[in-house]
Structure 1
Amino acid sequence: MIQNGHWKYFFKSLIVLLFLVSFTSVMAQQDAQFTQYMYNGMYYNPAFAGKDGGFRFSALHRSQWANYSTSSGQGGAPTTQLLTAQGRLDSKNIGYGLTLVNDQIGASSNLEVNLQGSYHRKFNRATISFGASVGIFSSSLDYGELVVVNPEPNLPTAGKESQMNLNFSAGLLFDRGNYYIGLSSRHLNQPDFDFGDGSYANQLKNHSYLLFGYRFRPVGQLAIEPSFLIKSVSFNNFSYDVSVIATHANKISGGLAYRGEESISFILGYSILRDNSLKLGYAFDLVVSGASAKAPTSHELMLRYTLSDISRQVERVIQRTPRFRF
C-alpha cells in the first residue's frame, strides 16, 4: 500500500513541473517520439540497458498522423520503427544493449544504430545506473520529394543523397523500487549534415530527457504506474508526455497519456504467453491541438519478449540396489 505522504509528494512535483513546462515554447524535436515511452526507456537513456536482468527484445512500429498529406498533395506522414535488444552480465553488474531506429518523415529518412553499455550498483534498496552509447546516425534526403519555398541555385531537384556521422549519448538512472528517475542526453556531439553542396544544412541538436515514474499496488494484483517524460532540445525549449498505466496480474494493462500541446492517447497491453514473456502493446493518439496542420490520429504497435535467466537444478534421485543405497 502506498504511503499518503509519498503520493502527495509525487503529485505536487508533477503539478509544478507541468506548470513550468506549460509556459515554455516548443521547439521542433528531431528525435522520434513514442507514446509507449514508459516501455522503451533504453531508447532515451542507455543506463536502462540490462537493468532488469535476463534478455529482453522489443519491436515497435509507429504511424504518426495517419493518411496525412501536404498542401501540394504529397504524403509525408512520419513512420518510425524501433528495435531494441538488451542483456546483462550479472557477475559484473554490467548491462549491454542495441537500439536501431528507422525514421521516415517526408523527403528525409534517418537510420540510427547504437551500441549501449551500462553499470549498475546497488545501495541499500536503491540501484544507481550509469550508461553510455556510441553509434552511427545516417541521414538521407530525397530531392525529388523535397518541396522548397525559396530554393537555392545549387540545390538538386532530383536524386537522393545520404550522409553518416558518429553519434554519442549518456545517461544516469536512480531506481528506488517504488519510484525511479532518469536523466539522459542524446547526440552529445551534435553531428552535422550538409546536403546539396552546402545549400541545405541540418545539424542534429542535442536532446535531453528527464524520465520519472512511480509504482504502487493499491489492492491485490493491480499495479499502477504514473510517469512523465520531459524533453528538451538544446536546453532552450521543452515539451512533455505524461501517462498513467494500470496493470492486472502482469497480464493485461491499460492507460491514458497526454502529449503537451498535441494529443491524448489510449494505451492497451496484453501478455500472450502463459508465462507473460511475450507482450503486445497498442497505442492510439488523437490530436487535440494544431489539428489543422496534422492528420487527427496516430497508431503504435509494439511487441516485447523477455527471456529470463534459466538455472537448471539437477535433483539427486535415490536409487536402490541389492547392497547399496545412494
Structure 2
Amino acid sequence: MKKLIPISLLLVMFMLANNLQAQQDAMYTQYMFNTLAINPAYAGSRNVISATALFRNQWTGIPGAPKTGTFTIDAPVFNDKIGIGFQFISDKLGVTQTTGAVFSAAYRIKMDEGTLSFGVQGNASQYRVNLTDVSLSPSQPYDPAFANNIDKMLFNFGTGMYYNTDRFYIGLAAQDLMPNDLSAERTSGAKLSGKQALHLFFSAGYVFPVAEDLKLKPSFLVKGVKGAPIEADLNATLWIKDVIGIGAQYRTSADIAGLIELQATPQIRVGYSYDRSTTSLQNFNSGSHEIMLRYEFGFEKDKILSPRYF
C-alpha cells in the first residue's frame, strides 16, 4: 500500500490551491557560495573558472522533506568583459521533482575599485508531480485533485545586477519572470490553478578587518515572492588567518544555523552548515544539513594575491 507522505499533502495544497502563490525556488543557507543560483550577473566575478557543488538535506526526519543538489561552473571570457555560467539542479519535495539546467551570461564593466555586472539567464526544467502516489483517506479513496500526475517542460528566464570589490558585494536579481502554468487538468476539464511566481533577491556583504589574523564577514540575503512573506537571511562569519571561517545565521521566522568553512588550498574550499527550526516544525525534524565544495581552475600568479571572500 502506498505510504502516506504528510509533506506531499501540504505541497499540493501549497502549490495547486486556487490563486495561491508561495516561495517555489530552492533555498540555501550557504547562499554566499551559490550566488550564481540566484543572480546571473555573478557569472565570472571570481576571475577564474570556478566550480561549486552543493547538497542540501532539509528537515531531516520528515518524510518527503526537500532534498536539493546543485552544480555550477562559471568563468570570465573575452578579456574578462563577459562572464558565462552553467548550473544543473535537482530539487525534490514530497511528490514533486524538478530537474533542470540554467545558462547565465553577464556583461562586466571594470570600475576604479570594483566590477559592475549585468546578467541574464535562461533555464529549462522538467517539472513532475506524482499526485497519484499520495494515499488518501480510506473513507474517500478517490479525489479528482489527485487523479492525474503532472509532467511538464518549463522554460523561464531571469536577470540581475551585481557589483563587487575585493571586500564588498551587492546584488539584485529577479527570477522566474514568466508565470508558467503548473496546473493539473481534472478529468472533468476543470483546472486546479498554480503558476510560477516572480522571485526577487537582494544581497550584500562586506569584510571588516578585526585584527591581524581575524576578519569579520557579515552578509544578508532578502527574498521576496508574491503571496509569501518577505524572508531575510542574516549571516556573520569570523575568518581566522583566511583559512577557517566560523559563522552563524538567522533566517527570519524560520531557522538559526551554524556554519564552518575551510580554505583547504588556494583552489579548494569546503563548507558545512546545520540549520535548526525556530518554529513548531522543530518538533518534527532533527535539523537541516548542507555541504558545499568549490574548486577553482587555472590560477595565475597575479590573480591570487588577495583571498576571495565572495
The TM-score, its normalising length taken from structure 2, stands at 0.82
Displacement of 1:195 in angstroms is 2.3
Amino acid at match of 2:289: H
Distance 2:72 2:98 in 1: 17
Amino acid at match of 2:100: E
Alignment check: 8 A CA contact 2:44 2:74 kept: yes
- 1:3 equivalent in structure 2: none
The runs of 5 or more residues in structure 2 that have no matched partner are 1-20, 303-310
Amino acid at match of 2:293: L
Distance 1:284 1:295 in 2: 12
Q: For 1:163-182, what aligned pairs fall within 5 Å after superposition?
A: 163-182=152-171
Displacement of 1:136 in angstroms is 0.6
Alignment check: 8 A CA contact 1:155 1:200 kept: no
- 1:250 equivalent in structure 2: 242
Size of the aligned set, in residue pairs, is 276
Alignment check: 8 A CA contact 1:208 1:234 kept: no
Q: Secondary structure at the match of 2:182?
A: strand
Alignment check: 8 A CA contact 2:109 2:117 kept: yes
Distance 1:192 1:260 in 2: 29
The TM-score, its normalising length taken from structure 1, stands at 0.78
- 1:51 equivalent in structure 2: 45
- 2:276 equivalent in structure 1: 286
Q: Secondary structure at the match of 2:132?
A: helix
- 2:121 equivalent in structure 1: 133
Distance 2:42 2:136 in 1: 40
Distance 1:47 1:166 in 2: 19
Match of residue 36, structure 1, among 18, 30, 34: 30
- 2:306 equivalent in structure 1: none
- 1:21 equivalent in structure 2: none
Displacement of 1:43 in angstroms is 0.7
RMSD: 2.3
Distance 2:161 2:243 in 1: 30
- 2:11 equivalent in structure 1: none
Distance 2:223 2:296 in 1: 28
Q: Secondary structure at the match of 1:280?
A: strand
Q: Which has the higher contact order (CA 8 A, sep 6+)?
A: 2
Displacement of 1:155 in angstroms is 4.1
Q: Does the alignment pair 1:204 with 2:196?
A: yes
Q: Which has the larger radius of gyration?
A: 1
User: What do residues 34-83 of structure 1 show as CA deviations (whole Å, max 9, x unaligned)?
Assistant: 11011111111000010111111111111100011xxxxxx211110011
Distance 1:258 1:147 in 2: 36
Q: Secondary structure at the match of 2:250?
A: strand
Amino acid at match of 1:289: T
Q: Secondary structure at the match of 1:38?
A: helix
Q: Does the alignment pair 1:153 with 2:153?
A: no
Name whichever of 97-106 and 245-254 sits farther off: 245-254
